[in-house]
Amino acid sequence: MNKPDKIVTQHNALINARFSFVPLQMRLFLALLARIEFDDTSFREHFVPFSEIGFVDRGGSSYQLLEEVCEKLTSFTLYIEELEPGTRRRRKRPNYKFISLMDTVEYQGDKGGVLASFNPSIMPYLLQLRESGNFTTAALAELRKLKSPYALRIYWLLKEYADFGQRTLSLEQLRFMLDIAENEYPRFSNFKARVLDKAQSELAGTDMPFTFELERQNQIVQKIKFLIELSGKNEESESTEQTELTQYTENVEQAEQTEIPGWHQELLKAGVSKRSVQQISKQLAAGEYPLGYVDFVLARITKQLRLGKVKKPAGAIYKALVDKYLLAEYLEAQSKPVARSAPEKPVVPTEVAMPLTEVEQMYLNPGPFLKKMIGKETFDEHLQRLYLSEGFVIEQRAGVDWLVKR
């Protein structure tokens, strides 16, 4: 029997993959997820009793239904991002592939359960995740409160962004992730009632309650902004907050007493762990983003914290830097003239530099701030409009073309 405080983990690429369960499949998935241990390096076969997946004996037809569900699970596939070999990081320009979820699913009616195991191909998305980062954890007890597969998927999608207090998804993105075809719930009112309202009702009883706002264009819903309403304090959350406060104080004292770079000190003062700062330092050294992006993220998250839009600033800062989800906005901001009044501490470095190949990748796979220009300009035109016309020049460094602005 699993511990009541069992914590389960998924890679964020799995959370954002395209697939949909039926309820029995969902409960079997949770049962197997609960049997994964922290130090597991491979999947094992597990026997899951019918009672654990909510199956009640209602005669021969019910058993036949469960047997059919097991048979269908053997061909169940996920449409999921390929990860970078070795690091298991998500790609800047994701490639998707189909992966079978299960290796074996055997109905064993005489023993009163199902024998099942995950497909080894999904090990990078479920095992040894603390070695590579980019994962989300959840309490099994909270997940088991959920009845519908859509509620479970939305729970994980919001849990990934819990530190930010909100997550915005286009209607197209959400349909993709939940594997809801365009001809299913074609009227938004039906989609809202069957998916959003139902998930909101179920998640209200968990640690991830939410409200949502609809963003429309010409009266048509384009985006859904989920606002996460973290539940009230209890003894455990107060203990966690005290631990985080103690760690924050220690980080501040250490940063002030140690001769380390200014940006390094600012991250430590914000509560980012030393291990996380080391990872960010490696990204900077590899030229994944300029130093000015660190200042940009710190300023943005600090402002959101003051407005009450961020619950855990350290986690939000780390995710914004490692996943680079604000990078497109930062780069576009650099291309616009800034009105200056009183002298202020500069937010950007004396030099902004980025590999030309990364700029092209962002053009080919634009974020929400650049998406409006898709199909309206070539890459050369895009380069001229956003960069060259604003003072960037192309330089060769070690045989590689870089965009540089001093």
Distance of CA 215 to the CA centre of its chain: 21
Q: 243: which 2 tokens?
A: 């631990």
pLDDT tens digit string along 350-369?
567 777 877 777 777 665 44
* 3-state SS string for 99-125: EECEEEEEEECCCCEEEEEECHHHHHH
Task: Name the more confident of 10 and 274.
Answer: 10
**pLDDT on residue 203:** 96
Contacts of residue 80, defined as CB under 8 A and 6 or more positions apart, other chains included, come to: 13, 14, 17, 18, 19, 96, 97, 98, 99, 125
Kindly report which listed range (116-125, 150-159, 271-280, 371-380) carries the lowest average pLDDT score.
371-380
pLDDT tens digit string along 88-130?
888 878 899 999 999 999 988 888 889 999 999 999 999 988 7
In the chain the domains, ranked by start, together with CATH numbers, are 1-144 (1.10.10.10), 148-231 (1.10.10.10), 245-325 (no CATH), 341-406 (no CATH)
Q: Tell me what percent of the residues of the chain surpass a pLDDT of 90.
A: 37
Task: Name the more confident of 51 and 202.
Answer: 202
The C-alpha atoms of residue 122 and residue 103 are separated, in whole angstroms, by 10
Scanning 46-100, the segments in alpha helix (DSSP H) are: 60-73
Please, which pLDDT band fits residue 252 given cuts at 50, 70 and 90? very low
Average pLDDT over the chain, rounded to whole?
81
pLDDT tens digit string along 185-214?
989 999 999 999 999 999 999 999 999 999
Residue showing tokens 């898709």:
374
**pLDDT on residue 3:** 64
Kindly report which listed range (169-178, 234-243, 335-344, 389-398) carries the lowest average pLDDT score.
234-243
**pLDDT on residue 169:** 93
Please, which pLDDT band fits residue 4 given cuts at 50, 70 and 90? low
Task: Name the more confident of 94 and 258.
Answer: 94
Q: Please compute the mean of the pLDDT values over residues 169-188 and round it to a whole number.
A: 93
CA distances from 92 to 66, 100, 114 (A): 40, 24, 39
* 3-state SS string for 250-319: HHHHHHHHCCCCHHHHHHHHCCCCHHHHHHHHHHHHCCCCCHHHHHHHHHHHHHHHHCCCCCCHHHHHHH
Which of 126-140, 197-211, 217-231, 379-393 tops mean pLDDT?
197-211
Please, which pLDDT band fits residue 233 given cuts at 50, 70 and 90? very low
* Res 140 pLDDT > 60: yes
The C-alpha atoms of residue 149 and residue 47 are separated, in whole angstroms, by 22
Task: Please say whether the dihedral angle defined by the alpha carbons of residues 312, 11, 205 and 152, taken in this order, is positive or negative.
Answer: positive
pLDDT tens digit string along 268-290?
878 787 778 877 887 887 778 88
**pLDDT on residue 36:** 94
Q: Please compute the mean of the pLDDT values over residues 19-38 and round it to a whole number.
A: 92
Q: Please compute the mean of the pLDDT values over residues 152-172 and round it to a whole number.
A: 92
pLDDT tens digit string along 328-337?
778 877 776 6
Kindly report which listed range (79-83, 88-92, 395-399) carries the lowest average pLDDT score.
395-399
